[in-house]
Copies of this chain bind each other. A is one copy, B any other.
């Protein structure tokens, strides 16, 4: 039985953790979920470390919603740097799902985007843990989480360079 950690925040304006666990349970079995809620994104990295070391998680989804101000962007950068560091110390993946509040034009789109991006990354998380071949099958195809996929870049003959 694998363990998937979910870290979320009270700062976020959408309950991304519910989208994540709902999608994970729809995708497959063989895992349990451990959830840890912190106040803001800069509190996420140490929560990830605790989930890896004290709760023996195999992979973690880090769910955050950085605000629109320059100081929020700086917080996001520091949080991401910490998330990176924890991954390298633990040699395990943390899938960072950050939805920047200013990515959406209004609250409705923000809710939609938060739900969609979280769900698509839940599938990435599941695949990294149970089915990494699926990721390789989609390498270089321009997948995006949330807004539309961009698709592969085409050559002058209208074919992608997939070999």
20 contacts between A and B (CB under 8 A): A10-B124, A10-B135, A10-B139, A13-B140, A13-B141, A14-B140, A19-B163, A22-B163, A37-B135, A42-B96, A46-B88, A49-B88, A74-B76, A85-B88, A104-B153, A108-B156, A110-B153, A111-B160, A114-B153, A114-B161
Measured in the bound complex, the distance between the Cα atoms of B39 and A47 in whole Å is: 22
Number of copies: 5
Residues of B within 8 A of A103 (CB): 71
Cβ of A78 within 8 Å of any chain B Cβ, yes or no, is yes
Give the contact-size bracket for chain A. 35 or more
Cβ of A151 within 8 Å of any chain B Cβ, yes or no, is yes
Known pairs A10-B143, A132-B37, A135-B37; A43 contacts B93 (CB<8 A): yes
Of chain B, the residue at the smallest CB distance from A43 is: B93
Of chain B, the residue at the smallest CB distance from A98 is: B71
Measured in the bound complex, the distance between the Cα atoms of B151 and A153 in whole Å is: 30
Of chain B, the residue at the smallest CB distance from A113 is: B153
Of chain B, the residue at the smallest CB distance from A137 is: B37
Contact present for A108 and B163 (CB under 8 Å): no
Residues of B within 8 A of A111 (CB): 153-155, 160-161
Residues of B within 8 A of A104 (CB): 153
Cβ of A24 within 8 Å of any chain B Cβ, yes or no, is no
Cβ of A100 within 8 Å of any chain B Cβ, yes or no, is yes
